[in-house]
Amino acid sequence: MAQDTLSLYGVSMLSRLIVGTAQYPSPAILAAAIRAGQPEIVTVSLRRESGASRAGEDFWALIRELGVRVLPNTAGCRTVKEAVTTAEMAREVFDTRWIKLEVIGEEDTLQPDVFGLVEAAQILVRDGFQVFPYTTEDLVVAEKLLAAGCEVLMPWGAPIGTGRGLNNPYGLRALRAHFPDTPLIVDAGLGAPSHAAAAMELGVDAILLNTAIAKAGDPVVMARAFALAVEAGRLGFLADPMQPRDMASPSTPVIGRAFSGAQRA
């Protein structure tokens, strides 16, 4: 089987697991979890770590040592202006055109403000950014984000940090069907490796998660579990699984089955 790579803005990746770097018990556990899960991309919040200041030097040294690619995000931003300003600062600090764009519109669910998201994406793409938009599974919003110049979509699985899994599998299937050539990365709300496998079996291209690993009893083991689940789900999708049916179908054929004398009579 040929290498199954994922291309994001022209960068080829072997791993389909992307890991956040917040909330870990310690830098050592974060490093061990990244080594166990083997992601090639990690997300970093500019508000939490600064690559240019002394406060962020240890973290930045850790990221360099691990050899992973950084995807800065605009976590916590609630207006277009705030998100754009944060993205511009992140480009300077982390020396990358990549940005995970978040514009939060609702406090209880942290649901994206899709109107602000599209507006911010238009501004950032014009300014040379390669935008990874955190969005819902709405097809119309997806169309507008792609028209704005985004080449990746990051639909949520469930609200951030809830661990509920996939709230709308139908919506994710619809996204996959409507945009077969666009990388889809399920971001937020997954709590167990089975959730990641289920998402990958729907045909999404990658999984991004943070809390489910960082807050696990053993983040290192959980990172490895998610890595295996993502791989299993991807292979399951590629293998073209059987479709569910309403009636039973014997796995052992009747032809050739032995019959007793009484049955023949």
Q: 81, 100, 144, 215: which is the annotated catalytic residue?
A: 100
Distance CA 245, CA 254 (A): 20
Q: Is 188 annotated as a binding-site member? A: yes
Give the number of other Cβ atoms within 10 Å of residue 3's Cβ: 6
Six-digit token string for 131: 């935008």
Q: Is 189 annotated as a binding residue?
A: yes
Query: Sign (positive/negative) of CA torsion 153, 158, 161, 164?
Result: negative
User: Which is nearest to 183 in space by CA: 33, 34, 9?
Assistant: 9
Hey, is 71 helix, strand or coil? strand
Contacts of 231 (CB under 8 A, 6+ apart): 16
Q: Is 55 one of the annotated binding-site residues?
A: no
For the question of residue 81 being annotated catalytic, the response is no
- How many residues does the structure list for the chain? 265
Residue 161 annotated in ligand binding: yes
For tokens 């073209």, the residue is: 240
> Number of H helices and number of E strands within the chain?
10, 10
Is 210 known as a binding-site position? yes
Rounded to the nearest angstrom, the gap between the alpha carbon of residue 187 and the centroid of all alpha carbons in its chain is 4
Q: Which amino acid does the sequence have at 44?
A: V
Annotated binding site for 1-deoxy-D-xylulose 5-phosphate: 161, 188-189, 210-211
Q: Cite the active site residues.
A: 100
